[in-house]
Amino acid sequence: MSANGKTALMGVKCLDCGKVLVAPAWACTDCGSDKIGEEMPLCGKGTVVTHTVVRRPSPGFPDAPYMVVVVKMEEGVEIPGWLAGFENESVQVGTPVRFSHFDHRNIPQFRVLHEG
Partner 1 sequence: MRKVAVLGVGQCKWGMLADRTVHDMIAEVGNAALRDAGVPRNLIEAVYLGNVTGGELCNQYTMGSVAAHALGIPAVPAHRYEAACCTGAIGFREAYLAVANGVYDFVLVIGVEKLNVGDMDRTVEVISRGFDSWEGRIGLLAPSQYALYATAHMHAYGTTREQLAMVAEKNYYHGSLNPDAHMQKRYTVEDVLAAPMISDPLGRHDCSLVTDGAAAVVIGPLEKAKEYNARPIEVLASAVGAETSTTASRESYVSFGSTRRAVEAAYKQAKLGPEDISFVETHDCFTITEIINIEDLGFVPKGEGGAAVQDGYTRLGGKIPVNVSGGLKAKGHALGATGVGQIYEAVKQLRGEAGERQVPNAEVALTHMLGGAPSISTVHIFARGY
What is the pairing mode between strands 78-83 and 20-22?
A: unpaired
Asked if 7 is part of the footprint of partner 1 (rule: CB under 8 A), the reply reads no
Residue 74 CA to residue 53 CA, distance in Å, equals 24
Query: Considering only residues 87-116, where is the footprint of partner 1 by CB under 8 A?
Result: 92-93, 105-108
Asked if 10 is part of the footprint of partner 1 (rule: CB under 8 A), the reply reads no
Contact, 79 vs 22, CB < 8 A? Answer: yes
Q: Name the residue among 54, 56, 102, 113 with its Cα closest to residue 79.
A: 102
Asked if 68 is part of the footprint of partner 1 (rule: CB under 8 A), the reply reads yes
| Count of residues that interact with partner 1, criterion CB under 8 A | 30
**Contacts of 65 by beta carbon, 8 Å cutoff, 6+ apart:** 53, 54, 55
Asked if 33 is part of the footprint of partner 1 (rule: CB under 8 A), the reply reads no
Give the number of other CB atoms < 10 A from CB of residue 22.
16
In this complex, which beta carbon is closest to partner 1, that of residue 56 or of residue 116? Answer: 56
Asked if 66 is part of the footprint of partner 1 (rule: CB under 8 A), the reply reads yes
In this complex, which beta carbon is closest to partner 1, that of residue 44 or of residue 116? Answer: 44
Contact set with partner 1 (CB under 8 A)? 21-22, 29, 49-56, 58-61, 66, 68, 70, 77-82, 92-93, 105-108
